[in-house]
Amino acid sequence: MARRLVVIGGDAGGMAAATQARRRDDDLEIVALERGNWTSYSACGIPYVVGGAVADLDQLVVRTPDEFRQRSRIDVRMHHEAMAIDLVAGKVEVRDHVHERTIRLPFDDLVLGTGARPLRPDLPGIDLPFVHGVQTLDDAADLLAHADKIRCREVVIVGSGYIGLEMAEAFVARGARVTLVEGANQVMRSLDRDMAGLVQAALERFGVDVRLDSPAKAFEDGTVVTEEGQFAADLVVLGLGVVPNSELAADAGIELGVRNSIRVDRRQQTSAAGVWAAGDSCESYHLVSRRPVHIALGTVTNRQARVAGINIGGGYATFPGVVGTAVTKICNTEVGRTGLSEQEADEAGLATVSAKIDSTTRAGYFPGNKPITVKLVAERVTGRLLGAQIVGEEGAAKRIDIAAVAITAGMTVHELIDVDLSYAPPFSPVWDPVATAARQAARAVDEAR
Ligand SMILES: Cc1cc2nc3c(=O)[nH]c(=O)nc-3n(C[C@H](O)[C@H](O)[C@H](O)COP(=O)(O)OP(=O)(O)OC[C@H]3O[C@@H](n4cnc5c(N)ncnc54)[C@H](O)[C@@H]3O)c2cc1C
């Protein structure tokens, strides 16, 4: 009898693992369970549908259930929800919402691609229907239907993670008045405060009313209550980060790790043999802090899923870890970050120096050049590059990938100066802004020695 792989979760983590396993093992029987309405979609595109740059949610679907069935012979079962895992019997208890019945599905291998959900702190009124979290296309469909129905004018974003900020821009683009309430004294805590100030300025230029030090305390119909006062809202979007969907795993006795994400080894195997996890539900290893982290990104998900799929399909692959690279566009301002911020380096016990420079995305005389600010964080004694942050206009953010490669390779800022980067006036100044920042950081390291 053919080995059976059961996949829980029909988006990137689950389906990329399933297709990779299929490529390596033609005989494998693969059953994928998805409780929602869509498979293999780009949640990353949701803010652009809300803002109107992309026509509708269907455009975000990379592969439909039928495409999986026909091209990869994966038995995709929509509206099927995994309710429990029995590791001893090797079975998943599944609620089939189509036929309103429960079945027990045997597996030889199991992939947990259950993703994450928006963090909903236990505050009065948090479950009122005007408070939305956005993670899946189903969440986005609910949000859009509600926004259209009430023709929303006043939107409050609670929390300033990048998803909240992208949604703030999207609702301004839809013509709403947007207030952002944030409990901390800066937006986007994945950046250092000085760089976050540039993002805040971009939000304010775009028309977003930013309220720092204003944690939400309660939601009442039509109002968000904070310590600073009350803000009118006919719709609220939560941007407080995500919580891994790891309860199924935990209830089955599978070990959890950092922030309750599913612990995995380097081959993406959980503490249970034959049970694998990939994506927002599981943890990663941070190559700079050398600590386990939970980083919920599509980039990480796809790489982890590839590794899990290769191993399930009989190959051998390992996932080395992450450096926390991310880019986003917020209110026409591009933001990139990788490695550790100064604060994160401090928390990891690393002594740092930093350097920040202002430059332009093209040669200063070339039409269309835009401002860019680059900040580098280096280890004080060794000069090893620990982190980078970039805020600027068009052409700025993807330069973060230079720093991501340098950090992954363990380079010092002195070595980064001498990397043979390209140059022509339409693309950069003769010294790319990242190289200019490296020169300044190298001087700071030399002075600190
Ligand atoms: C608005 C937004 C913007 C983003 N932008 C970016 C970006 O620009 N760049 C980037 O790298 N990342 C971005 N991300 C993150 C990225 O989308 C996620 O990292 C990625 O979707 C994670 O994939 P996943 O398969 O692990 O989880 P999910 O996408 O959450 O999918 C999990 C699936 O499992 C299903 N499921 C869960 N439990 C069960 C169960 N018990 N039974 C059956 N089905 C179940 C869910 O319905 C869901 O469809 C963004 C996310 C959002 C929400």
At 167-177, the pLDDT tens digits run 999 999 999 99
Q: How far is the CA of 12 from the centre of ligand 1 (A)?
A: 7
DSSP 8-class letter at 57 = G
Residues framing ligand 1 (Cβ under 6 A):
8-14, 33-36, 43-44, 46-47, 81-82, 113-116, 134-136, 163, 245, 248, 279-281, 296-299, 301
- What gap in Å lies between CA 332 and CA 244, rounded to an integer? 30
- Give the per-residue pLDDT at 285: 98
Please report where in the chains the tokens 């980039």 appear, as a residue.
299
Instruction: Give the mutation target among 171, 280, 329 for probing the ligand 1 site: most ligand atoms within 8 A of CB.
Output: 280
Q: How far is the CA of 115 from the centre of ligand 1 (A)?
A: 5
Query: For this structure, is 44 an active site residue?
Result: yes
Q: Regarding beta strands 275-277 and 109-112, do their DSSP bridges make them parallel or antiparallel, or are they unpaired?
A: parallel
Which neighbouring-strand residues pair with 338?
388
Q: Which atom of ligand 1 is nearest to the CA of 167?
A: 1
| Nearest Cα residue to atom 17 of ligand 1 | 43
| Nearest Cα residue to atom 27 of ligand 1 | 115
Q: How far is the CA of 360 from the centre of ligand 1 (A)?
A: 35
DSSP 8-class letter at 161 = S
Which has the closest alpha carbon to 292: 253, 321, 250?
Answer: 321
- What gap in Å lies between CA 356 and CA 376, rounded to an integer? 6
Q: How far is the CA of 136 from the centre of ligand 1 (A)?
A: 6
Q: Which atom of ligand 1 is nearest to the CA of 39?
A: 49
H-helix or E-strand containing 356?
strand 352-360
Query: pTM of this prediction?
Result: 0.97
- What gap in Å lies between CA 212 and CA 225, rounded to an integer? 14
Q: How far is the CA of 431 from the centre of ligand 1 (A)?
A: 38
Q: How far is the CA of 352 from the centre of ligand 1 (A)?
A: 34
At 375-405, the pLDDT tens digits run 999 999 999 999 999 999 999 999 999 999 9
- What gap in Å lies between CA 265 and CA 312, rounded to an integer? 14
Q: How far is the CA of 440 from the centre of ligand 1 (A)?
A: 39
Q: Which atom of ligand 1 is nearest to the CA of 140?
A: 1
Which has the closest alpha carbon to 317: 365, 377, 268?
Answer: 268
Given the residues 44, 152, 282, 331, the one annotated as active site = 44
At 226-240, the pLDDT tens digits run 988 999 999 999 999
Instruction: Give the mutation target among 105, 114, 139, 160 for probing the ligand 1 site: most ligand atoms within 8 A of CB.
Output: 114
- Give the per-residue pLDDT at 1: 80
Please report where in the chains the tokens 């399909």 appear, as a residue.
313
Instruction: Give the mutation target among 301, 303, 325, 334 for probing the ligand 1 site: most ligand atoms within 8 A of CB.
Output: 301
- Give the per-residue pLDDT at 228: 85
Q: Which atom of ligand 1 is nearest to the CA of 117?
A: 30
Angle at 42 (CA atoms; ends 262, 12), nearest 5 degrees: 35
Q: How far is the CA of 11 from the centre of ligand 1 (A)?
A: 6
At 401-436, the pLDDT tens digits run 999 999 999 999 999 999 999 999 999 999 999 999
Q: Which atom of ligand 1 is nearest to the CA of 115?
A: 27
Instruction: Give the mutation target among 93, 94, 111, 136 for probing the ligand 1 site: most ligand atoms within 8 A of CB.
Output: 136
Q: Which atom of ligand 1 is nearest to the CA of 328?
A: 8
Per-residue pLDDT of the chain (449 residues; tens, 9 = 90+): 899 999 999 999 999 999 999 999 999 999 999 999 999 999 999 999 999 999 999 999 999 999 999 999 999 999 999 999 999 999 999 999 999 999 999 999 999 999 999 999 999 999 999 999 999 999 999 999 999 999 999 999 999 999 999 999 999 999 999 999 999 999 999 999 999 999 999 999 999 999 999 999 999 989 999 988 999 999 999 999 999 999 999 999 999 999 999 999 999 999 999 999 999 999 999 999 999 999 999 999 999 999 999 999 999 999 999 999 999 999 999 999 999 999 999 999 999 999 999 999 999 999 999 999 999 999 999 999 999 999 999 999 999 999 999 999 999 999 999 999 999 999 999 999 999 999 999 999 999 98
Beta strands in 59-192 (DSSP E): 74-78, 80-86, 91-96, 101-106, 109-112, 116-118, 131-132, 154-158, 177-181
At 101-137, the pLDDT tens digits run 999 999 999 999 999 999 999 999 999 999 999 999 9
